[in-house]
Amino acid sequence: MPQKKSSLDRILGNLEDLDSANLPQVVQRLMRERRLLETVFNTIRDGILVIDENGVIQYANSQGCKLIGMQEDNVGKEVLWKLVPDLHRSLEGSTFQTDDEDSFTSREIELSYPEKRLVRLYIVPLQEGAAGVRLRNMAVILTDITEERLCTEQLIESEKVNSVLLLASGVAHELGNPLNSLTIHLQLLERKLKKLDASKDIEKLLASVEVCTGEVARLDGIITHFLEAVRPTPPDFKELSLLSLLNEVLDVQGVEFQDRSINVDIEFMEKNPVIQGDGGQVKQVLFNLFKNSLEAMQKEDRLKIVCRGDDDSIYLQFADTGIGIAESDISKVFLPYYSTKDGGHGLGMMIVQRIMREHGGRIGIDSKTGVGTVVTLQFPRKYRRTRLLENESARG
C-alpha cells in the first residue's frame, strides 16, 4: 500500500528534479501553503504553542498569544515557564522528561494574566526529525474552559438550591396544617368562653385566647411570606424604573436607618435607568440588601448607593461601612442556611442570587473585615435582548 503523501511532499515533488527554473514556483507555492496554514491555526479557538526543551516558545497562534498574554513579536524570545511560572514545576517527571512519542501530559491550570481564566492544557512530544535526530520540541494545546466550568458549577449549585427550596417549602406547608387546626380550636374556645357568665377569670382567659390567636396569625403570615420567597416562580417581566423601586423600599425601611442615625446617600449617574423585571422580586432583592446593611452597621455608619451603566448593563452598588465579611466567608454567603448573624436563617442572599439569575443579571460581593461591604447588582438593559434578536435576524 503506497504511503500517503503530505501537502509538502506534493509541493516539493522529487527534490532531485528541482532546478533554477522551477525553484521560484516551488517557493511561491510553499509561501501560499504557509499563509493557508497560519490562517487555519489563527481561526482555531484553542491556543497552539510549540516550545523547545528550554521552554522557549518557537510558535504560537493568535489564541495562544492571547491566553498567555504574549505579543506575537516575542515568539522565539519568550520562555513559557516565565509567562506561566507554576507550569514547569507541575510538569516535572511528566511528558517533557520522556522520549515516548505516545505519551502526553494533561493539566488544568488557572491563568491570572492578562485575565483570570481556567485553561485545560495538553502537552505532547513532536515526532522525530530527519536522520533519526530526536526533536526536543513539544506541542502545547490550550483550551479555555472558564465558561464550561462556570456553567457546570452554576448547574450544580442550582440543583442544590432547588433541593433546599423544595425541602423548605414542604416543611413550611406542613407547619401550616397544625396552625390551621390551632386557629379553629381557638375560635371554638373563644365562642365557648363568651357564652359563660362574665367574670375576671373569663376576661383573663379571653385575653389569653386573643394573644394566642394573634400569635398563630403572625406565624401563618411568616410561613406565607416564606413560601412566597422560596418558591421559584418565573418573573413577570415589565418595564421598571430602578429609582422608583429603590425609593419605594426606602419609604418602608428608611425609618430604621433614621432611628440609628445611619446616613444613606444615593447617587444616580444616569437619569431614571429602566430595566425589564418583576417588580415584586426586584424589591425583595433590595429589601434583603438594605436589611443586611442595616444589621452590619452601627450608629452613625454610612450606606452609599451608586447607580451607573454601560451599553449593555445597569449596575446598582450598595457600599456600607459595617463590620464586613471575612475573606474566607465570602464564598459561603450564597450557600443555603449559611449566616453570620445570630438567629439568621441563611436564605436571604441565596434567594437574592436566584432572583438576579432569573433576571439575566449577576450579583458580586467585595468585603473587608472592619472596613465594610460592597454588593454590586448587574441588571441587563431593557433593550438588550431585543437588540440581540435583531442582530441574529440581520445575520440570517
Report the mean per-residue pLDDT for the chain.
79
Confidence at residue 389, expressed as pLDDT on a 0 to 100 scale: 38
pLDDT tens digits, 203-239: 888 888 888 888 888 787 777 766 766 666 788 899 9
Residue with the larger pLDDT of the pair 128 and 289: 289
pLDDT at 34 over 50: yes
Q: What is the pLDDT of residues 233-272, one digit of tens each?
A: 788 899 999 999 999 998 888 888 888 889 899 999 888 8
pLDDT band of residue 363 (cuts 50, 70, 90) is: very high
Angle (deg, nearest 10), helices 279-296 and 242-259: 30
Q: Strand 57-60 and strand 372-380: pairing?
A: unpaired
Provide the grid cell at 163: 433541593
Quote the radius of gyration of the chain (alpha carbons, Å): 33
Q: pLDDT, tens digit, for every residue of 70-83?
A: 988 899 999 988 88
CATH assignment of 150-230? 1.10.287
Predicted local distance difference test score (pLDDT) of residue 328: 81
Does this model's pTM top 0.75? My answer is no
Q: Is residue 260 within 8 Å of residue 302, measured between CB atoms?
A: no
Looking at per-residue pLDDT, the higher value among 291 and 12 belongs to: 291
d(CA 164, CA 167): 5
Cβ neighbors of 127 (< 8 A, separation 6 or more) are: 101, 135
> Of the ranges 34-48, 119-133, 248-262, which one carries the lowest mean pLDDT score?
119-133
More confident residue, 371 or 41: 371
Q: Do domains 44-144 and 238-387 have the same CATH topology?
A: no
Q: What is the pLDDT of residue 192?
A: 86
Q: Name the fold adopted by 44-144.
A: Beta-Lactamase (3.30.450)
In this structure, are residues 122 and 103 in contact, taking their beta carbons and an 8 Å threshold?
Answer: no
Using alpha carbons, select from 159, 78, 150 the residue that is nearest to residue 113. Answer: 78
Its CATH architecture, for the domain 238-387, is 2-Layer Sandwich (3.30)
> Which cell numbers hold the place of 376?
454590586
pLDDT at position 332 over 50: yes
Listing from the earlier edge strand, what are the strands of the sheet with 57-60?
Answer: 57-60, 47-51, 138-144, 117-125, 105-111
Q: What is the pLDDT of residue 10?
A: 56
Q: How far is CA 210 from CA 185, 198, 200, 269, 320, in A?
A: 12, 16, 15, 52, 42
Q: Higher confidence at residue 302 or residue 108? A: 302
Domain ranges of the chain: 44-144, 150-230, 238-387
Confidence at residue 137, expressed as pLDDT on a 0 to 100 scale = 83
C-alpha to C-alpha distance for 240 and 276, rounded to whole angstroms: 6
pLDDT band at 13 (very low <50, low <70, confident <90, very high): low
- The pLDDT of residue 138 is 85
Average pLDDT value for residue range 340-356: 73
